[in-house]
């Protein structure tokens, strides 16, 4: 299947638009947008969202999810789900440790697209890597896509709202780490809890900072000169 990378000169002044979607719809193609969240977190799942927008009912104010307040993300998530086909694909922390980040991104993307009610003809993907390469999908990879494509921005929002809600739900069982506020990212509080307690079951133990912490704690337990 065909794939091309698109880098428009500047993002639309008013935020993501549906110019790309309209062009493809004009050729009779069903278009989906795809984006991931949780790539840089130290704990929790890697989550990919995918949306097929109704171009006659695109919610106003779609943006890259990181640029929105929690309240606005929640409102837009509801609006997107009311007027779109939406699916989520995830790779949880321990599976991610087994396969590595690059493979996990591809697995989560595949799971998301395959969970859609309909198979899209074209998938717009944020970034510079075709996460669906070799799987038979036509794709367009848009650098800075969550600032350019409404479908990708919508996917970013539903993925983040879904993942954040999951991390908040896990927080009571792992209260010292503050997952209800940091969502598994490396805030100062999170780092301090890790240094004091070590990782919990939701941490990505293959991550270099976690590996370094585990090594330091083991060395402290064994003491200097304990090797044989």
Domain total in the chain = 2
Q: What is the pLDDT of residue 5?
A: 65
CATH number at residue 63: 3.30.420.10
Q: What is the pLDDT of residue 1?
A: 61
The boundaries of the domain holding residue 178 are 173-221
Last residue of a domain, which of 131, 156, 171?
Answer: 171
Residue 45: beta bridge partners?
A: none
Helix (H) or strand (E) holding 192: helix 188-197
Q: What is the pLDDT of residue 9?
A: 54
Residues 103 and 182 in one domain: no
Q: What is the pLDDT of residue 53?
A: 97
Residues 162 and 191 in one domain: no
Residues 144 and 200 in one domain: no
Residues 98 and 205 in one domain: no
In a domain, 227, yes or no: no
- pLDDT 10s digit of each residue in the chain, 228 long? 666 666 655 666 678 999 999 999 999 999 999 999 999 999 999 999 999 999 999 999 999 999 999 999 999 999 999 999 999 999 999 999 999 999 999 999 999 999 999 999 999 999 999 999 999 999 999 999 999 999 999 999 999 999 999 999 999 999 999 999 999 999 999 999 998 999 999 999 999 889 888 776 554 444 444 443
Block residue for tokens 């003809």: 121
Find out whether 158 and 65 touch, Cβ atoms under 8 Å.
no
Residue 47: beta bridge partners?
A: 37, 90
Determine the Cα–Cα distance for residues 133 and 119; give it in Å rounded to an integer: 16
DSSP letter for each residue of 106-169: HHHHHHHHHTSSS--SEEEEESSS-TTTTTT-EEEEETTGGGTBHHHHHHHHHHHHHHHHHHHH
Q: What is the pLDDT of residue 226?
A: 43
Residues 49 and 79 in one domain: yes
Residues 164 and 190 in one domain: no
Residues 49 and 13 in one domain: yes
In a domain, 226, yes or no: no
Determine the Cα–Cα distance for residues 56 and 81; give it in Å rounded to an integer: 14
User: In 3D, which of 52, 120, 38 has the Cα closest to residue 84?
Assistant: 52
Residues 97 and 186 in one domain: no
Determine the Cα–Cα distance for residues 31 and 205; give it in Å rounded to an integer: 37
In a domain, 122, yes or no: yes
Residues 138 and 191 in one domain: no
Give the other-Cβ count within 10 Å of 200's Cβ. 16
In a domain, 130, yes or no: yes
Q: What is the pLDDT of residue 213?
A: 81
Residues 178 and 115 in one domain: no
Determine the Cα–Cα distance for residues 13 and 10; give it in Å rounded to an integer: 8
Contacts of 102 (CB under 8 A, 6+ apart): none
């Amino acid at each position: 299947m065909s794939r091309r990378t698109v880098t428009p000169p500047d993002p639309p002044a008013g935020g993501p638009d549906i110019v790309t979607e309209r062009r493809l719809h004009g050729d009779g193609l069903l278009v989906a947008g795809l984006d991931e969240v949780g790539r840089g977190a130290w704990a929790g799942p890697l989550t990919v969202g995918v949306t097929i927008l109704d171009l006659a009912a695109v919610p106003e104010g779609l943006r890259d999810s990181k640029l929105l307040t929690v309240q606005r993300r929640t409102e837009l998530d509801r609006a997107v789900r009311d007027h779109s086909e939406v699916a989520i694909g995830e790779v949880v922390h321990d599976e991610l440790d087994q396969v590595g980040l690059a493979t996990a991104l591809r697995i989560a993307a595949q799971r998301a697209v395959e969970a859609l009610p309909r198979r899209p003809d074209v998938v717009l993907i944020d970034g510079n890597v075709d996460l669906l390469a070799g799987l038979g999908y036509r794709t367009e990879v848009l650098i800075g896509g969550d600032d350019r494509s409404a479908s990708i921005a919508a996917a970013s929002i539903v993925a983040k709202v879904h993942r954040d809600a999951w991390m908040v739900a896990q927080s009571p069982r792992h209260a010292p780490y503050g997952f209800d506020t940091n969502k598994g990212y490396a805030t100062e509080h999170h780092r301090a809890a890790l240094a004091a307690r070590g990782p919990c079951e939701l941490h990505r133990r293959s991550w270099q900072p976690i590996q370094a912490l585990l090594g330091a704690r083991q060395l402290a337990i064994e003491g200097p000169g304990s090797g044989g």
